[in-house]
């Protein structure tokens, strides 16, 4: 009878994958992708007032911050080496209306925060979402007329809001409302206002996803939302349509692309990076974050390792960076290594 070692040798020949995995030093040497602090964008939530840090139950470890606390958070982020933060306002219910008119207030919550952060921490990048959902009484990203989210009127308002955000000091405008023609219109409006240096990170492929649940609690739109966002977000079944949608944003002048949610859409990250070669980002959204936190809290997974593994997966899928609520936690962890 043939000896078993000999049999494996005959099959593998000289090919043995495990040689490169045999020790920590070989594994480090052959590692193809690395996560660094430079890959991180930290989304934070804003509330009016001062001195308040209000935990969000559906997102353990994440809080809503008043502007002064957001400035402290931005300082912390900058000290950790995180390149940029992204801000999302939770404004008073009385200020929300059918058209999201507060988005056009020069000194609304998001613009006050931007100005304060840029003043105190000039070296951190500030990325602002310009969708209308934090400002509307119905929780939709655009203007609702009857039962329709009207495209062109929304684009016009979003482009005006983008200029106010840039006036306040925003470095990158990130439109997430998925209206047609928005990138071109925002570029045009920014340039006309003298903001040639302000970039646009398009939420190029934003899917109609259930993973946004905890975010809607965070900015208090969950209870408001009438219906769903299927007439403007992309169907999770469609990959080719997502690439076509992103192609339009590239043509219209997007500087960077984003895929959202992240982990369930790694194929889209890869396809966009391959197709356009633009800086490409994934948004690891609230539901992705909360699932990891919840399972870890129950002792079902090792939360820290799963966090790092998911973030590395984005790098492997071709992403240049990740918007993640884990940003400060990861940055601290990476600094210790
Ligand atoms: C909407 C917007 C959403 C998120 C950021 N901006 C989705 C939505 O509520 O429809 C989700 C972010 C997250 O889930 O972390 N403009």
| Tens of pLDDT, residues 116-149 | 999 999 999 999 999 999 999 999 999 999 999 9
For residue 43, which of 295, 288, 301, 336 has the smallest C-alpha distance? 288
Q: Are residues 6 and 132 in the same domain?
A: no
Q: Which residue is it, tokens 């080496």?
A: 81
227 Rama class: left (phi>0) / alpha (psi -120 to 50) / beta: left
Q: Could you tell me which of 28, 45, 12 has the C-alpha nearest to residue 113? A: 45
Do 123 and 67 share a domain, yes or no?
A: yes
* Band (4; pLDDT cuts 50, 70, 90): low
Q: CB burial class (10 A; 0-12, 13-18, 19+) of residue 197?
A: exposed
* Ligand 1: lining residues by beta carbon, under 6 Å: 129, 131, 133, 141, 176-177, 212, 215-216, 229, 285-286
Residue 69 reports pLDDT greater than 60: yes
Distance between CA atoms of 230 and 42, rounded to whole angstroms?
A: 27
Q: Are residues 2 and 126 in the same domain?
A: no
Give pLDDT tens digits for 164-173: 999 999 999 9
* Predicted confidence (pLDDT) per residue in 220-277, tens digit: 998 999 899 999 999 999 999 999 999 999 999 999 999 999 999 999 999 999 999 9
CATH code, 244: 3.20.20.70
Domain residue limits at 206:
36-336
Residue nearest atom 3 in ligand 1 by C-alpha distance: 212
Report how far ligand 1's centroid is from the alpha carbon of 261 (Å). 9
Ligand 1 center from residue 59 Cα (angstroms): 14
pLDDT for residue 337: 84
pLDDT for the residue numbered 3: 63
State the Cα–Cα distance between residues 20 and 81, nearest whole angstrom.
Answer: 32
> How many domains does the chain divide into?
2
Q: Which candidate in 69, 260, 273, 293 is catalytic?
A: 260
The reply to whether 260 belongs to the active site is yes
The question of whether 4 is a catalytic residue gets the answer: no
55 with 200, same domain: the answer is yes
Q: Same structural domain for residues 105 and 21?
A: no
Reduced to 3 states (helix: H, G, I; strand: E, B; else coil), residue 224 is coil
- Residues 172 and 26 grouped into a single domain: no
Which atom of ligand 1 is nearest the CA belonging to 216? 9
């Amino acid at each position: 009878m043939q000896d078993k070692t000999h049999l494996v040798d005959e099959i593998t020949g000289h090919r043995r994958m495990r040689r490169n995995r045999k020790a920590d030093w070989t594994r480090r040497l052959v590692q193809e992708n690395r996560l660094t602090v430079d890959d991180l964008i930290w989304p934070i939530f804003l509330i009016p007032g001062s001195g308040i840090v209000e935990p969000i139950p559906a997102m353990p470890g994440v809080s809503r911050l008043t502007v002064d606390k957001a400035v402290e958070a931005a300082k912390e982020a900058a000290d950790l080496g995180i390149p940029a933060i992204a801000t999302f306002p939770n404004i008073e219910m009385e200020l929300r209306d059918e058209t999201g008119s507060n988005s056009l207030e020069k000194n609304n919550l998001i613009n006050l925060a931007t100005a304060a952060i840029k003043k105190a921490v000039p070296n951190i990048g500030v990325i602002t979402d310009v969708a209308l959902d934090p400002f509307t009484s119905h929780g939709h990203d655009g203007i609702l007329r009857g039962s329709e989210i009207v495209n062109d009127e929304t684009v016009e308002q979003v482009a005006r809001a983008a200029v106010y955000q840039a006036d306040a000091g925003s470095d990158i405008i990130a439109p997430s409302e998925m209206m047609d023609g928005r990138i071109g219109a925002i570029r045009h409006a920014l340039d006309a206002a003298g903001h040639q240096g302000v970039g646009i990170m398009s939420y190029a492929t934003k899917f109609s996803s259930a993973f946004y649940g905890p975010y809607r609690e965070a900015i208090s739109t969950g209870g408001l939302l009438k219906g769903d966002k299927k007439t403007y977000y992309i169907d999770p079944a469609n990959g080719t349509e997502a690439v076509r949608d992103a192609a339009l944003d590239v043509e219209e002048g997007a500087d960077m692309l984003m895929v959202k949610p992240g982990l369930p859409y790694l194929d889209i990250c890869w396809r966009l990076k391959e197709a356009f070669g633009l800086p490409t980002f994934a948004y690891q959204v609230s539901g992705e974050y909360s699932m990891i936190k919840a399972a870890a809290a129950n002792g079902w997974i090792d939360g820290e390792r799963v966090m790092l593994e998911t973030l590395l997966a984005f790098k492997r899928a071709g992403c240049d960076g990740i918007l993640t609520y884990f940003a400060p936690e990861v940055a601290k962890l990476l600094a210790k290594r």
